[in-house]
Amino acid sequence: MGKKLFFITGGQRSGKSSYAQNLALSLSDRPVYLATSRIWDEEHRRRIEHHKAGRGADWTNVEEEKELANHDFSGQVVLVDCVTLWLTNFFFDSGSDVENSLKEAKAEFEKLMQQEADFIFVSNEIGLGGMSPNEVQRNFSDLQGWMNQYIAAQADEVVLMVSGIPVKIK
């Protein structure tokens, strides 16, 4: 196992997570699924439980809202799903402060990248959907776009998912 960084991005329901899960399983018989979502309401909790059950026993599930590097992933293949929900936690906690959220997320990403593990990051290209009339949504889109660029620049491989089809970017 080397230290490799994969970045899988695309629109909502583009096939990102399925592609990333298959990639992780091709690299390890016991990958780690690092879930970054907070449970916002009962419907969201049910959705998360459904996803967990669908992954099966091959996966080690770790839930972490922000401080991803607090876990030791040495020697493992780790699927981080997803950057968008992870950034939402920083953005929400900072009162929608884009600059502070980006600074904190980059710092946490850098700490995580110190570990000797293979990482697969899944993210959304929310900026493809057009500009929102809502200022908070525009600010979050900026945050998401800047963080995507940051991770993609460091990634060994970047894949854009389009209607379930992987398009290799890098």
Domains annotated on the chain, with CATH: 21-168 (3.40.50.300)
Residue 71 falls in the annotated catalytic set: no
Predicted structure pTM score:
0.92
CA dist 128 to 12, 36, 67, 71, 142, Å? 10, 22, 28, 33, 12
Mean predicted lDDT score pLDDT of the chain = 91
What pLDDT score does 118 carry? 97
* pLDDT of 127 strictly over 50: yes
- pLDDT, average across residues 82-95: 95
pLDDT, one tens digit per residue, over 26-85 is 999 999 999 998 787 888 778 777 777 777 788 999 999 999 999 999 999 999 998 999
